[in-house]
């Protein structure tokens, strides 16, 4: 292990030399541009003391800056600095106001009255009002909207009618005055306030833009928000630049300028070590010792509400058989994966719900590593071993599964371990690495020849692996695991269980916490029996942080969510 880290250190140092050379030479436009940003920012902050700058690195470029269009973590890392939410969870998962100063709830739990903050302005100077909130929530119910957040508003009176095109507005959303929004629900809804953990958009900019075209609108690359930072520039493949919002209504950040830079893992880690980067989001566990050994940099670990899992396409001929899915689950040594890749920063997950959340229950079907059990199940399913290949076959066809993942050092290491473990039980696995956008928009959200969303088929993928991070309320799981036939569904694996559907519906309208928890415990148990997902592990999120970044704070809400607490030592 030490030899491996020494080799990695040498690679990093070599990459540092390459980075320096590219930045100082007249190489490609993108490389020299990134180098110039570092030099200018370092000079301004370090020599004059007039401006403080933080450089944040992440391996995935932002897809868009409209937070209502299928946001991913790399997107929200930037979006949360530009926009504000109606409400937000605090560190204890209790909801508190953000743009809403507070709210009242009627005795029957069906009417929410939000009281908005005074003195909030959009970055272009226009006042923020209740019309912006009503516009945002109504837009999520628009017939053409396809950003994936419509589940947050379907419980509002009139939302379904507007979504179906039989109404001109959402009747359950009213604005008595500029600082008040009243929302009426069809029924008392336990998840509603959590679903208002939603970024609010400017009506005066987007009201004449069809929500169905928001994903291609210029607003995605030149956003106007109410947040701590204003958008300045997005240089594709290089960085996004933000500047402090001097008119921010909340606690103003001390850091004047933020650059969020994109690059490969090796180059970004090298940039962190040589001082060109101040914070690296998503540091690999394998690089902890290497980074800490360099000096001037520390590793920060923080808890997330996440479960990393394998999704199994139920339309796949092999994976449609429960015995095959069970065999695959028994064929994974989770303890070895955690110990080898993540060490003390990881832990085994047997439930689809995070073990540090109230939805979690230990009462699930577990699949301890048992290769003999895996082989027995495959043979019960009608597979026979081909002695010459070492893989099981059925009807002359090898049990071959593709395994799609987003490119990362840790992810690839996990995939290779699973590939070896499945080989030992007679299953051939093909690893396919790609960036997140390719996985998401060509396989999980496929389109037809005309560019319109279509349903997933057996040919799109067999297995994929991702992390599921809970954002606002566990009701988010509902759109991933309830029966759905429409194109563009979030139920990528086409799982269907009527009992699970009923429980998700029941928890939504349960107002007692213990009743909701019981529903989720039963959902977790049923999912573990059906195995549409194989939960693998949970882990702390890791960030490499320069010693000049003081009071660094991050948690499950995101690495930059509390950036106003950070300071840069001069």
Answer CATH for 84-217 from 3.40.120.10, 3.40.50.720, 2.120.10.30, 3.90.76.10: 3.90.76.10
pLDDT of residue 197: 95
Same fold, 50-83+227-296+547-569 and 84-217: no
Within 8 A by CB and 6+ apart from 16, the residues are 270, 271, 273, 274
How would residue 24 be classed by pLDDT, with cut points 50, 70 and 90?
A: very low
Per-residue pLDDT of 361-389, as tens digits, reads 999 999 999 999 999 999 999 999 999 99
pLDDT class for 49, splitting at 50, 70, 90?
low
Q: Which of 47-51, 433-437, 445-449, 485-489 has the lowest mean pLDDT?
A: 47-51
Q: What angle do CA 551, 281, 248 make, to 5 degrees?
A: 55
| % the chain with pLDDT above 70 | 91
Rounded Cα distance between 425 and 502, Å, is: 36
Residues 6+ apart with CB under 8 A from 151: 195, 475, 476, 478, 479
End-to-end CA distance of the chain: 37
pLDDT of residue 354 exceeding 50: yes
Which range among 52-56, 157-161, 375-379, 468-472 shows the weakest confidence by mean pLDDT?
A: 468-472
Length of the chain in residues, anyone?
570
Q: Specify the range with the lowest mean pLDDT, choosing from 6-15, 333-342, 385-394, 556-565.
A: 6-15
Q: Which residues pair with 56 in a beta bridge?
A: 260, 279
pLDDT tens profile 488-515: 788 999 999 999 999 999 998 887 889 9
pLDDT digits (tens, 9 = 90+) for 291-343: 888 889 999 999 888 999 999 999 999 999 999 999 999 999 999 999 999 99
In the prediction, which pLDDT does 472 show?
65
pLDDT, tens digit (0-9, with 9 covering 90-100), for 132-166 = 999 999 999 999 998 888 889 989 999 999 999 99
User: What is the DSSP annotation of 165-222?
Assistant: TS-SS-TTEEEEETTEEEEEBSS--TTHHHHT--B---HHHHTTS-GGGGGGSGGGTS
Summary mean pLDDT of the chain:
89
Is residue 33 over pLDDT 50?
Answer: no
φ, ψ of residue 479 to 5 degrees: the values are -75, -15
Domain map (residue ranges) of the chain? 50-83+227-296+547-569, 84-217, 306-540
Q: What is the CATH number of domain 306-540?
A: 3.10.105.10
192: nearest Cα among 154, 146, 140? 154
334 close to 536: Cβ distance less than 8 angstroms: yes
In this structure, what token pair is assigned to residue 368?
């301890």
Strand, helix or coil at 368? Answer: coil
Topology of domain 50-83+227-296+547-569, per CATH?
D-Maltodextrin-Binding Protein; domain 2 (3.40.190)
Could you tell me which of 99, 89, 67, 92 has the C-alpha nearest to residue 193?
Answer: 89
Q: Kindly calculate the radius of gyration of the chain based on its CA atoms and give it in whole angstroms.
A: 25
């Amino acid at each position: 292990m030490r030899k491996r880290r020494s080799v990695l250190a040498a690679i990093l140092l070599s990459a540092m030399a390459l980075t320096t050379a590219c930045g100082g030479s007249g190489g490609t436009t993108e490389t020299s541009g990134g180098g110039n940003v570092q030099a200018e920012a370092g000079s301004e902050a370090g020599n004059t003391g007039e401006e403080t700058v933080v450089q944040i690195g992440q391996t995935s470029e932002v897809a868009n800056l409209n937070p209502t269009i299928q946001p991913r973590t790399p997107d929200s890392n930037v979006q949360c600095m530009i926009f504000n939410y109606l409400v937000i969870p605090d560190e204890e998962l209790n909801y508190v106001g953000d743009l809403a100063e507070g709210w009242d709830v009627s005795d029957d739990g069906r009417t929410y009255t939000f009281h908005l903050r005074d003195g909030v302005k959009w970055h272009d100077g226009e006042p923020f009002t209740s019309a912006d909130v009503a516009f945002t929530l109504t837009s999520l119910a628009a017939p053409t909207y396809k950003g994936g957040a419509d589940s947050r508003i379907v419980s509002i009176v009139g939302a379904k009618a507007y979504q179906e095109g039989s109404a001109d507005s959402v009747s359950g959303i009213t604005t008595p005055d500029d600082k008040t929004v009243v929302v009426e629900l069809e029924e008392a809804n336990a998840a509603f306030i959590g679903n208002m953990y939603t970024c609010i958009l400017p009506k005066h900019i987007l009201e004449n833009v069809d929500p169905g075209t928001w994903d291609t609108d210029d607003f995605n690359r030149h956003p106007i928000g109410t947040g701590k930072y204003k958008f300045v520039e997005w240089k594709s493949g290089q960085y996004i630049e933000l500047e402090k919002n001097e008119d921010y209504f909340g606690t103003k950040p001390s850091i004047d300028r933020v650059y969020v830079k994109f690059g490969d893992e090796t180059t970004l880690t090298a940039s962190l070590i040589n001082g060109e980067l101040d914070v690296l989001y998503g540091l690999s566990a394998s690089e902890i010792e290497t980074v800490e050994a360099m000096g001037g940099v520390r590793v920060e670990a923080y808890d997330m509400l996440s479960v990393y899992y394998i999704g199994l396409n139920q339309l796949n001929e092999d994976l449609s058989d429960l015995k095959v899915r069970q065999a695959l689950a028994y064929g994974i040594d989770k303890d070895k994966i955690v110990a080898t890749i993540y060490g003390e920063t990881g832990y085994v997950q047997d439930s689809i719900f995070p073990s540090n959340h109230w939805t979690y229950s230990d009462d699930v079907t577990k699949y301890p590593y048992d290769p003999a059990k895996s082989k027995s199940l495959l043979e019960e399913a009608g597979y026979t071993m081909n002695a010459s290949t070492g893989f099981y076959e059925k009807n002359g066809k090898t049990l071959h599964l593709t395994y799609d993942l987003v490119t990362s050092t840790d992810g690839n290491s996990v995939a290779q371990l699973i590939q070896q473990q499945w080989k030992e039980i007679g299953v051939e696995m093909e690893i396919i690495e790609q960036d997140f956008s390719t996985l998401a928009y060509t396989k999980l959200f496929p389109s037809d020849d005309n560019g319109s969303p279509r349903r997933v088929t057996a040919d799109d993928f067999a297995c994929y692996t991702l992390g599921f991070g809970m954002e606002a309320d566990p009701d988010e799981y509902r759109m991933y695991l309830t029966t759905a036939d429409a194109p563009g569904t979030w139920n990528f694996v086409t799982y269907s269980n009527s009992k699970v559907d009923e429980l998700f519906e029941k928890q939504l309208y349960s107002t007692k916490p213990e009743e909701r928890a019981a529903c989720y415990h039963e959902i977790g148990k049923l999912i573990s029996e059906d195995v549409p997902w194989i939960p693998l592990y949970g882990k702390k999120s890791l960030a490499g942080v320069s010693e000049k970044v003081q009071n660094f704070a991050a948690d499950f809400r995101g690495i930059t969510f509390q950036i106003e607490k950070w300071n840069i030592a001069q």
